[in-house]
Structure 1
Amino acid sequence: MTRTRLHRRIIWDKGGNPVSHVSRVLDLTEADVGAAIHSIKAAARLRGADNIVIYDNGDVTDARGEEIGNLYDED
């Protein structure tokens, strides 16, 4: 595990729509955040209503804590 992952902070870990909050915290557009979340969830075979956890470095995990992507890696 990399050092940055050891010190990352959770910025979203609840249900609902994280797009506005996450876009402000990570300084990304809402459109980019929404598209990235959709792509990450689809690749992980998650449904829209499935909860995810988003960290301040862009990492995304499922509710069990498994790494499923990074918002900055999505086009």
Structure 2
Amino acid sequence: MSRDIANLEPPVRWCILLSEKIYAAVNKAKTTEDLEEIIPGLAILIDASEQPIYRPLDNQMQKKYYGKAKQQSSTP
């Protein structure tokens, strides 16, 4: 088991360091062209379609489903 970890550790460390460097550079980028310079061949997909969430108009029904102490999976 420890031999496996010894073999896996260097590439994992390299990926983490690389991702930290890329993350720092990406945060400085202001346009998509800047991102393309940092990460050549980058394909960006932006999902800009918003789906309306219908909430109950009745205040009592809202209390039943929404609030800090309530769970998303509660049943009526």
Q: TM-score, normalised by structure 2?
A: 0.24
Which one has more relative contact order, counting CA pairs under 8 Å at least 6 apart? 1
Instruction: From the two aligned structures, give the one with the greater helix fraction.
Output: 2
Q: TM-score, normalised by structure 1?
A: 0.25
Instruction: From the two aligned structures, give the one with the greater strand fraction.
Output: 1
Q: Which has the larger radius of gyration?
A: 2
